[in-house]
Chain A
Amino acid sequence: MAEHNEIDQVTGTATTGHQWDGIKELNTPLPRWWVITFYLTIIWSIGYWIVYPAWPLLASHTTGLFGYSSRADVAVELANLEKIRGDKMVKLGAASLVEIEKDPALLALARARGKTVFGDNCAPCHGSGGAGAKGYPNLNDDEWIWGGSLDKILETIQYGARSGHAKAHEGAMLAFGKDGVLKKEEIVTVANYVRALSGLSTGKGYDAKAGAKIFADNCVACHGDAGKGNQELGAPNLTDKIWLYGSDEATLVETISNGRAGVMPAWVGRLDPSTIKALAVYVHSLGGGQ
């Protein structure tokens, strides 16, 4: 291994004896300070094993000298955040819904808070922008099954509809076909009558008189004489352009035959009162509020 000690003439450095295509490798060790730093980092890391949670055990893990945990850190930070928000949220909780909408600062806070909470809790059904879907009301428009005033929206969010809560909105679309109240042809006729109410085209050979009679006998109790609906009962207005489940004949026949009873959960108890308030203001400010 004599080559190992060959001295490179240009640099005066010993070579390692390795040579590729005439290019020789110089034996240039890492600087001492670098090596020492490297070993120091290893020693330092051992400190971490001891001081911090590091080693997984069968059912748990080592907790470290100080019992440090990033989860506890998060809890502390969240608590701090709540403290920072505290005053504002207290103010929000104390103000009435109308006052909140009149105060630009409170409105901005309510909308910001409401939007976040809406995204977490309401978006799965109503869509992230409240645009709704079939069976899930659009919250941007002005058709409100249970009322669209601030108070009514708050009430709906708090107790829901058909949610099982004692104060929930009750009232469902009856299943006229399934229950044998109406025959198949009668259902088609009244479905066409309802389409005519909101200015939609009607099917061939549809008997308007018969439709009016069936409607008067079965539907006016909830939807009213003119089909304008009743928010107390959650009966939708049948004369406008907005249809929760769809306005084509087949869908209406389905609705009349089997009924509808969508559920809106109650949020009281799940969200704190000021958050629900913020949510109500947010939904109202989406633009459809009355």
Chain B
Amino acid sequence: MNKPVPPTELQYEQDAPLYAARKKVYPQKVSGTFRRIKWGLMAFCLGVYYLLPFVRWNRGLGAPDQAVLIDLPNSRFYFFFIELWPQEVYYFTGLLIVAALTLFLMNSLGGRIWCGYLCPQTVWTDLFYAVERMIEGDRRERMRKDAAGGAVKLQRFAEIGLKHAIWLVIAWWTGGAWVLYFNDAPTLVKQLFFFQAPMLAYIWIAILTATTYVLAGFMREQVCVYMCPWPRIQAALTDEWALNVTYKYDRGEKRTSLKKAKELRALGQQVGDCIDCYQCVAVCPTGIDIRDGAQLECIQCGLCIDACDTVMKKIGRETRLIGYDNDINIHRRQAGKSPIYRFVRPRTVVYSALITTVGAIMLYAMLTRSLLDINVLHDRNPVAIKLSDGSIRNAYTVRLLNKRGFDRVIAIDIDGPTNATVHVVGADSVTPDRPMIILGRDQTTELRLLVTAPAENNPEKSIPVWFRVTDIGLGEVTSATDNFVSP
């Protein structure tokens, strides 16, 4: 056996553990501009999420009257005036592209705005903190109560119990709202109340209740720091011009106590505005010190700005020692130049142009999308049939889609081998050369179509054949092509 080699280089780590345990964060209550913005956005986001399923939209008889509905059994997605079919999921692709580009644009303008203001994790964690603060008190009180720990007191138990109960109610409501998007909301609420809802609904409510409760109640900032890929990606998307929550160290340093600062200023010496009061740290939901500079853990929620502004007002200094700014401006100020804010940059212009383009394409596709569709599939077995008089017949499976909310009469024409005839199995209409079909509203219909080319016009090889579908009433025409094959 080899002789153990003493890890001399690593000696300095001897006392420190390899992994640091989580330090619980006790964000302090704060008020100010950004807190108000956050309250507003929270109310808006949660309001939309919880109430949207109850918004009604009249689509006529037999169709669901819920404004936003994901109808999985019937494979339809309803969004106000839009009704999407499964084969139109590319609209979602477009929506995702727009969402991604918007995120890029947000990043180049104001850094991780998403993380700090709109991310569900932030919104729900913020809400859970508010509940905790309301019941257990503010930062100091909570710290004191947690430190007391072992001392069993009835009041403390009641507090904790109440807190978790309210958390669970919020989490349960969150899961409940989720399932309402997949079913008629008022009906489902009634069913849920009388325990008659489908099992799947209860399972989903349970899953989302559990995730909300655990993620917003216990995991909190750890989701952002350890689990979420966005901080990494968004940090990479942010450029040097983007406005980030920044401690303006050109103004703040050197930090001294309020009293000492006064003395030094009286002597005409240069002192920083930061009085090292740690208010920015106390209010931070991820428990970091913004004065250490931009960092992964910072979700850019702006609460430290409010905290610092409060202090600055109190001590009679200019506000926004911490504010939305960037390093370029700090360096400019240090060099005696005025700060500049540049929102129109190649990057933002490109993002905006892309968003506009994709949006325009989607809008165009949406407005001109066909409400009558045809898909043709050539029968493979047999590919072609020789009839007794020597003519050749090919069979096709034709799927017609009527995306309109009423029945339609459509005619089928073909354009293929000379003098070829078309016949729909099971639909011997009064016009034998031009089959007519009734398409049920909001439905797909599958037909078996036989195309026969007379013996004298038998094509030697495979030739294209066009299937044209005409709505007799509206004149809407759609077509599809396939091949006509000889044996």
Give chain A's interface residues, CB within 8 Å of chain B. Answer: 3, 6, 9-11, 17, 19, 21-22, 24, 101-102, 104, 107-108, 111, 127-131, 138, 140-143, 237, 240-242, 285-288
Contact = CB atoms under 8 A, between A and B. Distances in A.
B5 interface: yes
B149 interface: no
A3 B446 contact: no
Please report whether the interface of chain B is mostly helix, strand, loop or mixed according to DSSP: loop
A286 B395 CA distance: 9
B382 to A, nearest CB: 4
A140 B382 CA distance: 8
A241 B385 CA distance: 11
Contacts of A127: 381-382
Contacts of B450: 287
A108 B2 CA distance: 79
Contacts, number: 81
A8 to B, nearest CB: 8
Contact of A288 (B1, B385, B445): B385
Interface centre among A3, A10, A17, A22 (most CB of B within 10 A): A10
A128 B4 contact: no
A3 B1 contact: yes
A10 B395 contact: no
B280 to A, nearest CB: 35
B453 to A, nearest CB: 14
Contacts of A17: 1
Given A241-B387, A287-B385, 12 more contacts: A22-B5, A102-B426, A131-B381, A141-B388, A142-B387, A142-B388, A143-B387, A240-B389, A241-B390, A285-B426, A287-B395, A287-B448
A25 B386 CA distance: 77
Given A104-B445, A129-B380, A142-B388, A10 B426 contact: no
Contact of B379 (A6, A9, A101, A129): A129
Contacts of A287: 385, 393, 395, 423, 425, 448, 450
B198 interface: no
B11 interface: yes
Q: How large is the interface on B (under 10, 10 to 19, 20 to 34, 35 or more residues)?
A: 20 to 34
19 contacts: A10-B7, A10-B13, A10-B14, A17-B1, A22-B2, A111-B448, A127-B381, A127-B382, A128-B381, A129-B382, A131-B385, A140-B385, A141-B386, A141-B387, A241-B389, A241-B390, A285-B425, A287-B423, A287-B450
Contacts of B445: 104
Interface in B387-420: 387-390, 393, 395
Nearest to B14: A9
Contacts of A129: 379-382
A9 B11 CA distance: 8
B382 A138 contact: yes
Task: Specify which of A9, A17, A143, A285 lies most central, judged by the most chain B CB atoms within 10 Å of its CB.
Answer: A9
A10 B18 contact: yes
Contacts of B382: 127, 129-131, 138, 140
A142 B379 CA distance: 17
Interface string B354-384: 0000000000000000000000000111100
A242 B386 CA distance: 7
Nearest to A107: B426
Name A's interface SS.
Answer: loop
Nearest to A123: B381
A243 B395 CA distance: 21
A11 B19 CA distance: 10
Contacts of A6: 4
A9 B10 contact: yes
A17 B3 CA distance: 11
A19 B5 CA distance: 11
Given A141-B385, A141-B386, A285-B425, A24 B393 contact: no
Nearest to B15: A12
A21 B5 CA distance: 11
A97 B386 CA distance: 26
Nearest to B380: A129
B73 interface: no
Contact of A241 (B388, B393, B423): B388
B424 to A, nearest CB: 10
- Which A-B residue pairs are the 7 nearest by beta carbons? A129-B381, A240-B388, A131-B382, A140-B385, A241-B390, A285-B425, A107-B426
Contacts of A128: 381
Contacts of A10: 7, 10, 13-14, 18
A19 B3 CA distance: 9
B6 interface: yes
A139 to B, nearest CB: 10
A200 B43 CA distance: 86
